[in-house]
Amino acid sequence: MNKQSTTALPRARTVVHPGPSGPVRINHMRADHGRHFRLSLPAGRTLHEGLVEALAREAVHSASMTLLGGDLESLRFCMALPDPSGRVLATYGAPVPLRGARLIFGNATLGRSASNTPLVHCHGAFCEADGAVRGGHILCDRSVVGRVPVTVLVTALDSFELRVAYDEETRMPLMRPEARAGHV
């Protein structure tokens, strides 16, 4: 079991990633305000298609999103595991396929990949057909919306952009904020 209880405040662990630890520990940027949208993602499309197509119509390329619920006809998700090869500290395990899941809650980030295509990073909790509740990293491009639409609250980030870049410290592609041309 991974779980334990204690009355004392546990000592937090410090991990050592394979690459050099950079001096900036919190990368942050600010917009003067967020544009908000409510989306209802249609049945039969993947979460990725539904989110990216709706937000492209509103010229939104970077956003933070809350997934409020809905049905998933099919769902693939991964869990984070220690990397047995030691190349990285933690990696995703093999995708777990589910059919007929109900989304409970999720958070997602829309940004751009290194090759400039839309990319959605999503974590969520969901209920399986038999009632069991699980959670993890949801593969949006391999998860299809079911009969009940997935409702999403979007906070669009217009004055900077989110982009995935290779991170030397963790040796993983990670999302981080970057200035947009013409904005400070």
Task: Provide the binding-site residues for other proteins, judged by CB under 8 A.
Answer: 2-10, 12-15, 17, 21-22, 24-34, 64-66, 77, 79-82, 89-90, 93, 96, 104-109, 121-125, 133-137, 155, 157, 160, 162, 167, 169-170, 172, 174-177
Nearer to other proteins, 94 or 181 (CB): 94
Q: Are strands 80-82 and 63-78 parallel, antiparallel or unpaired?
A: unpaired
Question: Residue 30: left if φ>0, alpha if ψ -120 to 50, beta else—which one?
Answer: beta
Taking CA atoms, 33 is separated from 29, 39, 81, 143, 155, in Å, by: 12, 19, 37, 31, 9
Nearer to other proteins, 64 or 151 (CB): 64
> At closest approach, how far in Å is the CB of 132 from other proteins?
9
> At closest approach, how far in Å is the CB of 91 from other proteins?
9
Nearest Cα to Cα of residue 37 among 60, 4, 19, 14 = 60
> At closest approach, how far in Å is the CB of 135 from other proteins?
4
